[in-house]
Structure 1
């Protein structure tokens, strides 16, 4: 297929082919009783560098805006499900679940990897990334099977809010790791407090930006009667929010989710219904493009480098999330279905985790130049390479198994039509 690279293939042609072929790949997954997004990801692997390399790294970079747009709409759809009345019915259990599943994954990954490596810096960076989830996979499965019920509502809340908590955990952990590495060479991190406060600042600014956008949307949206007009306005505001997140380096998921939450809890029922009726018509196309590109980023040749470290990470993260959510549900006295099955629905991990890995590599570059495996000291450059290689490999596992387990959880809870 190398000769194809001699041609300047129009992006619109790529879009069209991905949409058509992806549609049929997804349909074929139904015969295997698997979520359609597995088919999209398989197509992505075939078209990406691990396959025919039609979706080259250069082309994926040009299409980098697409995943952001898709995540923006996914986050908005999550927010639109987070009605305060519904959340009150679920009770405090949601708060307990989010806290215990996030910190459960963090703690179990840290101690498991520390027992393996005896290196606190390496263990901490993996633990910091462990709570990060991939809400798109969970939402795609819920939308495809039209799942309804308390487990579905709880899943929307957990995959939405744990993004904010994950940012805080990562920010604090990064500050500690930087301090550990600098102390190896006798330095002290001058910006420790600033690094710790950064994630809190990011979340606060996300709230402010989302609130301002929501107010502006409400003012303009109330005057519209036609549902098609409401859809156009919604698309415009989501695109604007995604652009502002890129400009201000904010959490795209958190910002758009908050916009959805503000809309569903403050706006007239007619406006909310217009959005909720029209949005599902747009999401299937976005899911095809998003997960095909996600699949093309799954470098299958990274799997052999998984190693013992990656296997321990997979098991400890999985048990931490499942056990933590189960314990949180028990403490919060959640209903049986939420307690038994919610943990299975939150295992997906992909773009956010890889993004955090790349950010971490950049932030600890050149730190802790002493490398001494006996004393457990490792350079920042070496840690960065280990983390990116391992997380890339583990994401292949979680991105494939996550949606399948989400479907199983929803089916066992009796919430799939």
Structure 2
């Protein structure tokens, strides 16, 4: 055999490992996956047996449930990431698996006891989203970003609201099929469906290893869209309460709605200023301060009628764009977020009413298809009007499919504030988000690969 053949054999075997029984594992990846699966099964078995063999009753302990969800959620998230899916998808799957409608390692009382985590996680998500909006990076692409953002938002909200009304009234009748319930749910679904996932989008772009004008355009639309959606959600929430007065203690007028938004922005500016001062003067233990601010904003401002998500997004935007402390804030958030996100998204999966999926599953699939169509239409029209980035007219929509943090947070708010139909709509939104999170990273990766092949030297 010639030298080239020998070198190929050496390379082949250098990339392989063998266990004690002679089985071959390519690059050790299969072995790691099997170890992770065994660890996951062991944790699930531990969760099932521990309440039965413990000397004290831990089945009702919120701390026990929290630890179990973090461990199983983390392992499942790693498994999802190894198979090209976002970690958030793994967290949701873990919650569904061990939750009260799955294996019942986590009970409904655990889910209720841990709702405090929602406020902390939602505040962190909003603060991070605001910090990701960097004006200096968006300015060169402002024209096309503004057109795509406005057309996507308009077409998505109108199209999804009308589509849901038609589907829920005549095709897949829903339990809350009175006019007020369907109109309210349709409006909120339309607003939530407009959102994309900044975290998933950024993760896929970073993994691709290449930043370009296309990636800056994509990130600009995704990041700014969060601000627009929060404003619109605040308005939509008040409209929904006005249409459903029986589910609301108070109904806010249009003027009151804008006063709430103005008050939330003002509170966000104050908190952002406070964060800037503390970051510039305090060098240690800022993580504790940021966590305290996140808890404070959600638990104090929400009862006052303000919108905590808008407050924290405004604060993050202010710190990053109008101070020198933006990078420090984002570093601290990166350190804080992982355990909180594992718990929040696993809890969201556990709270998913799987018993209702048989009534909304087909409707969720129909909404996913509608959302993809309106994403394509909004992106195509926006790029056409901007007369820029015309090469993205037909495939640019594939960058905006993913949904995650903010959408899940808004779904949680809908579930909490509308007892009569909120749970059904929450399950519907979560099911659609789950599907979008499965296909979104794949469509974005396809787009980036195509762009990289088209502009290899950019």
State the SS of the aligned residue for 1:130.
helix
TM-score (norm 1): 0.77
Instruction: Report the number of matched residues.
Output: 377
State the SS of the aligned residue for 1:412.
helix
Cα 1:110/1:139, change in 2 over 3 Å: closer
- Maintained 8 Å contact 1:231/1:278: yes
Q: Return 5+ residue gaps in structure 2 as ranges.
A: 1-47, 171-177, 453-458
Q: CA deviation at 1:352?
A: 1.5
> In the alignment, does 2:438 pair up with 1:404?
yes
2:272 corresponds to: 214
Cα 1:200/1:405, change in 2 over 3 Å: farther
Equivalent residue for 1:283, pick from 320, 330, 337 = 337
Q: CA deviation at 1:294?
A: 0.8
- Maintained 8 Å contact 1:102/1:166: no
State the SS of the aligned residue for 2:197.
helix
Equivalent residue for 1:303, pick from 357, 360, 381 = 357
1:77 corresponds to: 128
TM-score (norm 2): 0.71
Matches within 5 A, 1:14-93: 14-93=65-144
Q: CA deviation at 1:293?
A: 0.3
Q: CA deviation at 1:231?
A: 3.6
**Cα RMSD, aligned residues only:** 3.5
Cα 1:134/1:238, change in 2 over 3 Å: farther
> In the alignment, does 2:223 pair up with 1:163?
no
2:411 corresponds to: 353
2:260 corresponds to: 202
> In the alignment, does 2:164 pair up with 1:107?
no
- Maintained 8 Å contact 1:106/1:320: no
Q: CA deviation at 1:307?
A: 6.8
Cα 1:316/1:239, change in 2 over 3 Å: same
Q: CA deviation at 1:329?
A: 4.0
- Maintained 8 Å contact 2:134/2:321: yes
- Maintained 8 Å contact 1:137/1:402: no
Equivalent residue for 1:172, pick from 230, 239, 253 = 239
**Bigger RCO (CA 8 Å, 6+ sep):** 1
Q: CA deviation at 1:159?
A: 2.8
2:448 corresponds to: 414
Q: CA deviation at 1:123?
A: 4.2
